[in-house]
Amino acid sequence: MKKQAFNPYLPSWEYIPDGEPYVFGDRVYVYGSHDFFNGYVFCMGDYVCWSAPVDDLGSWRYEGVIYPRNADPMNKEGNMCLYAPDVTVGPDGRYYLYYVLDKVGVMSVAVCDTPAGKYEFYGCVHYPDGTRLGDREGDEPQFDPGVLTEGDVTYLYSGFCGRGDKSRTGSKVVTLEPDMLTVRDEPVLVVPGSEYSAGTSFEGHAFFEASSIRKVNGKYCFIYSSEVMHELCYAMSDKPTEGFVYGGVLVSNTDLHIDSYKPADLPMAMGANNHGSLVEIGGERYIFYHRHTNGTWYSRQGCAERITLNDDGSFTQAMMTSCGLNGGPLEGRGEYPAYLACNLFTPKHSLYLGEANAPRITQDGRDGDEEPGYIANLTEGSTAGFKFFDCKGIKQVSVTTRGYAFGASIEVKTAWDGEVLGVIKIDATNVWETFTTECAIPDGVNAIYLTYRGGGSAMMKSFTLA
């Protein structure tokens, strides 16, 4: 039996941000960097790969380590981190992995005969005279590759542009020879950074990082993280090296701009950077992105949402949900883990991480321990939201909590600012205990919002609809 698909789509103890999804054969593969639970910097792990059948997006398989960080000759001691990679199939049918080490401004390449086998170091992208791309005077440091191969030509996009840094112009593209290493055409700017976006269609949503490239209905779609960081934007062109025009926002890990269930300018989660891309699976298009856990920038998890491509070639921004790859709402009955929360906020509705004493998704143990995630530090007014469930005949709602909750309760609603349908009284406890209330949830597709009221704080492991 096929499993329901959730967000995050991988196990709650896995931290794979910067996801680049591809369909190879009858499986979808996701390539990304590798954060650690409770990590103190980005991308501390080796490259690993996960895949799922295209017709069963709830059944993800761990493919193992495909490239350890000390496999690069420049990093034999493993002291540098592997930043966000991308993969393309070369003219020879082999799979090429492009990546940058965190302290080196050049682009490395590894190769493998299969999508998720053992990749071997292949070389560095270089000019015809042997000078590495990124080393030549006037080159901008390489960062966050996006690659697309058509015939015997590969297009390699790269760039990083912080606000106030005029030395970085935006995302640039080079074309590569069939050897996948040698630069054929000089770097060309395709999307400007904030210091060079005035008067362009990108002003206000200028390029920051996370170059990614896809073909959509014959056009070239460039996906990137904008200067505000929490959003993935896109630009379209008829050509791969010029003519890109800003298209809009694909997804925000705060749900900013979405106005269907709350004001457009109200964030429903605390965001930070973002990175991901588009993929078509079974006739549906999805945007992959990441969220932040543990209250830091450094423990990110992959999420995905179904996204609508309109008749005019534009995309409608995807809403964050708990059921992204499921193809529809989750079954509106049974127990669901609290780490599936797609909305998590305090009465302040902070846009970025950093609010003191904010709730956070976390886990017990250390990185690698297969401990289920949960929400920690629920305090007065904190709300966790879950979307969506197809409910029928639900008369009872339970929560499983622990922690020093004093005179506390959990309010049950189907909208973040909606009517309170039930109140679950909870007690202080140092082990997980389940508390229940009678509560009629309307039949139909609903969101579930759980708001903490009272003193102290609580952790929430799960909730149950019955």
C-alpha–C-alpha distance, residues 425 and 440, integer Å? 16
Pair of tokens at residue 74? 């420049």
- Which residues of the chain fall short of a pLDDT of 70? 1
10 Å CB burial of residue 437 (0-12, 13-18, 19+) is middle
Pair of tokens at residue 38? 């409770």
Here the contacts of 174-177 (C-beta below 8 Å, separation 24 or greater) are 174/125, 174/133, 175/241, 176/125, 177/152
Whether the model clears a pTM of 0.75, i.e. scores above it, the answer is yes
| HEC assignment per residue over 188-229 | EEEEEEHHHCCCCCCCCCCEEEEEEEEEECCEEEEEEEECCC
Residues of the chain with CATH 2.115.10.20: 20-326
pLDDT of residue 2: 86
Which DSSP symbol is given to 132?
B
Write the single-letter amino acid at 421.
L
Reference 205, options 191, 188, 220, 219; nearest CA is 191
| HEC assignment per residue over 341-380 | CCEEECCCCCCECCCCCCCEEECCCCCCCCCCCEEEEECC
Reference 461, options 400, 385, 387, 378; nearest CA is 400
Reference 101, options 145, 140, 51; nearest CA is 145
Residues of the chain with CATH 2.60.120.260: 331-465
CATH classification of 331-465 is 2.60.120.260, yes or no? yes
Pair of tokens at residue 432? 């997980």
What is the set of active-site residues? Answer: 18, 209
Q: Which numeric CATH code is attached to 20-326?
A: 2.115.10.20
Rg (alpha carbons) of the chain, rounded to whole number: 22
**Residue carrying the six token digits 């290493």:** 181
Q: Terminus-to-terminus CA distance in the chain, angstroms? A: 22
C-alpha dihedral sign at 74, 125, 193, 167: positive
